[in-house]
């Protein structure tokens, strides 16, 4: 019986020893897992998390993925006896509790739950599970998930940047186009305004001459000038206001560019002004000119060899300076007429028969009345020869010349009388 008890005690002691080793191994593995997870969390966010330790264990340093060692905390029973400590990694056996007489304690029945080693194993497992849960909460996100999120964020950022750049490009391009359109409109409007000013100046200059009261030799020029002024005013283009839309600004600008083409009408206005000025100057030449001016002009006519003005003493008609008479009378001799065949002495004595005469009247009306009177003798024995009115002058040509020659000489005399001097032309 004693041997059987001894064997039974040895077997129980062996079973207890195995249970203690198993509990120690479980505790050690749980401590290592908890310590590793806590160390990983601390490495990920050491500033915020700090080093985390599992309940009942102290986490040792983890260097370059080294092992973490956990030490079981001491547990006290109800009777104040200390529970054996379980080493997490050494694998040493727990010490056997001494009995009252120093004998080895009788091992408990393995079927009943152990109050020391089993409790410590359960506590270690519980603590390890809590530590593992905390580690899972603080564990870093897997690399593939974090990489995917980073890639998505980068893609979204790129899309936003591209969209912003596109919007900025469109806005910048549209604004640049708008500025160009506005600048082009302003240049075109200024150019049209300058052309309008040129037209206004031409119109104003001609209008001033018309309003001056100076009479031209040809009165029709006044009527023509007034009609041309009205036409020029109607042809003037105004500067259209600038719209707001870029395309509309371009459309208006193109219309402004092709408008205001006043070159032709300004040319006509200038020509009309020149003609009117010349006609006014010509009228001054042929309306009541002095006898000396007439003689000076006649000397420029080919084949006129002499010219002389009458005086009250030698006036053959007695009309010099009379109320309805001429203010001056000039006779001239023509070389194509044989002067020795003409009756009379000298240029005035031979009269119109020696070549012709120029009768100057104070007014155009008196000159026309004189011309009408002479016309009564046309085609009669008293034929006066060719005659016509220029201003207030009556030009007469000798009937000793052929009709063709008479007309030609009359044209040459009129041209001489109505040709402006070079200084007046300039």
Q: What are the structural domain ranges in the chain?
A: 2-140, 163-284, 287-425
In DSSP terms, which residues pair with 104 in a beta bridge?
98
As a whole number of angstroms, the distance between CA 311 and CA 13 comes to 183
CB of 31 closer than 8 Å to CB of 124: yes
Cβ neighbours, 10 Å, residue 378: 12
As a whole number of angstroms, the distance between CA 5 and CA 127 comes to 39
Q: How confident is the model at residue 329 (pLDDT cuts 50, 70, 90)?
A: very high
Angle at 37 between CA 36 and CA 39, to 5 degrees: 65
Q: Using N-to-C axis directions, what is the helix angle for 403-417 and 291-298, rounded to 10°?
A: 120
The reported pTM is 0.53
Residue 238 CA: distances (Å) to CA of 193, 196, 259, 362: 8, 8, 9, 49
Cβ neighbours, 10 Å, residue 410: 20
**Mean pLDDT on 138-161:** 74
Buried b (16+ CB within 10 A) or exposed e, 174-208: eeeeeeebeebbeebbeebeebbeebeebbeebbe
In DSSP terms, which residues pair with 359 in a beta bridge?
329, 394
Percent of the chain with pLDDT over 90: 50
pLDDT tens digits for 42-82?
444 434 443 343 333 333 343 444 443 434 333 343 444 34
pLDDT tens digits for 223-276?
999 999 999 999 999 999 999 999 999 999 999 999 999 999 999 999 999 999
Positions of E strands within 8-164? none
As a whole number of angstroms, the distance between CA 202 and CA 266 comes to 6
As a whole number of angstroms, the distance between CA 75 and CA 23 comes to 15
Q: Using N-to-C axis directions, what is the helix angle for 220-234 and 263-286, rounded to 10°?
A: 160
Cα end-to-end distance, the chain, whole Å? 166
SS3 304: strand
CB of 398 closer than 8 Å to CB of 355: yes
pLDDT tens digits for 171-208?
667 889 999 999 999 999 999 999 999 999 999 999 99
387: part of which helix (H) or strand (E)?
strand 387-390
């Amino acid at each position: 019986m004693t041997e059987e008890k001894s064997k039974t005690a040895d077997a129980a002691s062996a079973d207890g020893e195995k249970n203690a080793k198993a509990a120690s191994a479980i505790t050690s593995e749980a401590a290592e897992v908890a310590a590793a997870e806590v160390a990983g969390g601390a490495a990920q966010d050491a500033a915020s998390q700090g080093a985390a330790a599992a309940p009942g264990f102290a986490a040792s340093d983890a260097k370059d993925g080294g092992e973490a060692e956990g030490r079981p905390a001491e547990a006290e029973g109800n009777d104040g006896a200390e529970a054996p400590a379980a080493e997490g990694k050494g694998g040493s056996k727990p010490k056997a509790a001494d009995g009252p007489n120093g004998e080895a304690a009788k091992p408990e029945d393995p079927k009943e739950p152990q109050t020391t080693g089993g409790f410590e194993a359960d506590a270690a497992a519980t603590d390890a599970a809590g530590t593992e849960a905390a580690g899972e909460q603080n564990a870093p996100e897997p690399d593939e998930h974090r990489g995917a999120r980073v890639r998505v964020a980068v893609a979204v950022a790129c899309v936003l940047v591209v969209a912003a750049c596109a919007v900025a490009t469109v806005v910048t391009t549209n604004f640049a186009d708008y500025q160009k359109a506005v600048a082009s409109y302003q240049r075109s409007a200024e150019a049209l305004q300058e052309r309008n000013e040129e037209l206004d100046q031409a119109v104003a200059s001609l209008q001033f001459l018309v309003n001056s009261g100076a009479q031209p030799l040809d009165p029709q020029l006044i009527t023509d000038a007034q009609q041309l002024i009205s036409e020029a005013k109607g042809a003037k283009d105004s500067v259209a206001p600038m719209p707001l839309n870029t395309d509309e600004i371009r459309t208006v600008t193109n219309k402004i560019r092709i408008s205001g083409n006043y070159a032709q009408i300004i040319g006509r206005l200038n020509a009309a002004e020149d003609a009117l000025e010349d006609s006014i100057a010509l009228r001054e030449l042929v309306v009541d000119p002095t006898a000396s001016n007439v003689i000076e002009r006649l000397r420029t006519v080919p084949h006129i060899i002499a010219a002389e003005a009458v005086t009250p003493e030698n006036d053959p008609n007695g009309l010099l300076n009379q109320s309805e008479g001429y203010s001056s009378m000039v006779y001239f001799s023509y070389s194509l007429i044989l002067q020795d065949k003409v009756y009379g002495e000298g240029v005035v004595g031979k009269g119109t028969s020696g070549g012709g005469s120029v009768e100057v009247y104070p007014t155009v009306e008196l000159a026309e009345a004189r011309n009408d009177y002479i016309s009564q003798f046309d085609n009669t024995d008293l034929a006066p020869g060719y005659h016509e009115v220029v201003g207030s002058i009556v030009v007469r040509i000798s009937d000793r010349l052929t009709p063709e020659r008479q007309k030609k000489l009359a044209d040459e005399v009129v041209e001489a009388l109505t040709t402006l001097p070079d200084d007046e032309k300039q």
